[in-house]
Amino acid sequence: MEKQPIKPEFTFKMFEILGGLWLTGCVKTAAELNIADLLTSGPQTISFLAEETQSHEAQLYRVMRALCGAGIFEELENKTFALNDFGAALQTDVPGTAKNFVLTIMNEHFPCYGELTYAVQTGKVPFEHIHGKDLWGFYKEFPETGENFGKGMTGMSGMELKGIIENYDFKPYKKIVDIGGGNGVMIHTILKNAPQSSGIIFDEANVIEKTIKMIPENLSERCSVAIGSFFNEIPQGADLYTMKWILHDWNDDKCVQILKNCYDAMPKGAKLLIIDAVIPDDSLNKPHIAKLLDIVMLACLTGKERTLNEFKLIIEKAGLQFTQIIHIGTDAKSIIECEKI
């Protein structure tokens, strides 16, 4: 069959997709130069921004113009720029900031997305191919970069913590363990909304070292930490266990191992909440953010995003029983509840 010429509108659509790459390069520059922070006190001229960031004015203007064209910051008259709600997401050390996640994706992760062919043809992880070690080994070797990654995960948590609290009742549970709880933001939020509950943040020693210092004073009597690996042994005896953005990092065999350790730690009747993205089983040819998050997993880790049926399979293999899926208002996360019967 003779090949037909490509319709121009589809060539242009592909061109637009490539435009997303060019725009994210501009976002990275704005994050690295702290542009959002410089605009918090009010609109500033391009001359001021260039001087404060030690940049060439003409080149910085071109980047800012592109960002404003996408709704990130606002250009006023006389090459003056103002902060808007979208651009504010790039501020430093503000709850819900996307800045650290942007720097993670656009620095150590970025070259991996150009090597997806390597993943497809070898079945191996581009991140390991490029950096010579796996993601977690990389962050242990470069702790400052690892700390930025942790802050990035915390910043992204803001988009789902409200939905988790509003759609799941934590008050009936007296003892809650957050597995791989990182800096503790989720358990802090849970305990603030469940005043009779106590919580344990469980993670590795290099993480917990900083986690301890971040426990709010008003939660110090109800919130504690435990050190270990979820591949070995998990704190026992809680009536609720949570794990957010954990299982998607690992392949099915590793996930079953983690879930079996949860099963061993859980008394009968205890619940486990797996908080992860879920690809709808009926999403053929439909866009979904989890399908794109899955490319992050393909490029950087051995894990993947899963459909609900795929989650049910690994839950069943670990001896747990799936009870329900709870949607929390964002496609980036859902709550998968299971129980030890």
Q: Which residues contact 277 (CB under 8 A, 6 or more apart)?
A: 248, 289, 290, 293, 305, 331, 332, 333, 334
Report pLDDT for 132: 98
Of the candidates 9, 103, 16, 27, the one whose C-alpha atom is nearest the C-alpha of residue 64 is: 27
On the CB side of 276, how many CA atoms lie within 13 Å of its CA?
Answer: 29
Query: What CATH number matches the domain at 8-92, 1.10.150.170, 1.10.10.10, 1.10.1370.30, 3.40.50.970?
Result: 1.10.10.10
Give SS3 for 86: helix
Q: Which residues contact 47 (CB under 8 A, 6 or more apart)?
A: 57, 79
On the CB side of 278, how many CA atoms lie within 13 Å of its CA?
Answer: 23
Phi and psi at residue 101, to the nearest 5°:
-70, -40
pLDDT in tens, 237-264: 999 999 999 999 999 999 999 999 999 9
- For the stretch 96-122, what's the b/e string if a residue is b when 16 or more beta carbons lie within 10 angstroms of its beta carbon? ebbbbbbbbbbebbbebeebeebbeee
Report pLDDT for 154: 86
Of the candidates 99, 189, 203, 192, the one whose C-alpha atom is nearest the C-alpha of residue 151 is: 99
Of the candidates 41, 49, 150, the one whose C-alpha atom is nearest the C-alpha of residue 97 is: 150
- Maximal C-alpha separation, the chain: 74
Report the C-alpha gap between 165 and 156 in whole angstroms: 16
Q: Which residues contact 163 (CB under 8 A, 6 or more apart)?
A: 328, 329, 330, 333
Report the C-alpha gap between 84 and 36 in whole angstroms: 9
Report the C-alpha gap between 72 and 81 in whole angstroms: 10
Report pLDDT for 157: 81
Q: Is the pTM of this model over 0.85?
A: yes
Looking at domain 110-339, its CATH class is: alpha beta
Report pLDDT for 95: 86
- Contact indicator for 337, 311 with CB cutoff of 8 Å: no
Report pLDDT for 2: 87
- Contact indicator for 103, 68 with CB cutoff of 8 Å: no
- The domain limits of the chain are 8-92, 110-339
Examine the residue annotation and report whether 109 is marked as an active-site residue of this protein. no
What are the DSSP calls for 241-310, one per residue? EEEES-GGGS-HHHHHHHHHHHHHHSPTT-EEEEEE-EE-TT-TT---HHHHHHHHHHHH-S---EEHHH
- Contact indicator for 96, 161 with CB cutoff of 8 Å: no
Handedness of CA 108, 158, 90, 210 (dihedral sign): negative
Report the C-alpha gap between 56 and 46 in whole angstroms: 10
What is the CA angle 285-288-291, rounded to 5? 85
Report the C-alpha gap between 33 and 42 in whole angstroms: 17
Report the C-alpha gap between 110 and 236 in whole angstroms: 39
- Contact indicator for 176, 207 with CB cutoff of 8 Å: no
Handedness of CA 259, 261, 267, 272 (dihedral sign): negative
* Residue 285 CB neighbours (<10 A): 4
Residue whose structure tokens are 């799936």: 322
Digitized pLDDT (tens) for each residue of the chain, 341 residues in all: 789 899 999 999 999 999 999 999 999 999 999 999 999 999 999 999 999 999 999 999 999 999 999 999 999 999 999 999 999 999 999 988 999 999 999 999 999 999 999 999 999 999 999 999 999 999 999 999 999 998 998 888 877 899 999 999 999 999 999 999 998 999 999 999 999 999 999 999 988 988 999 999 999 999 999 999 999 999 999 999 999 999 999 999 999 999 999 999 999 999 999 999 999 988 899 999 999 999 999 999 999 999 999 999 999 999 999 999 999 999 889 999 999 99
Catalytic residue selected from 109, 248, 288, 327: 248
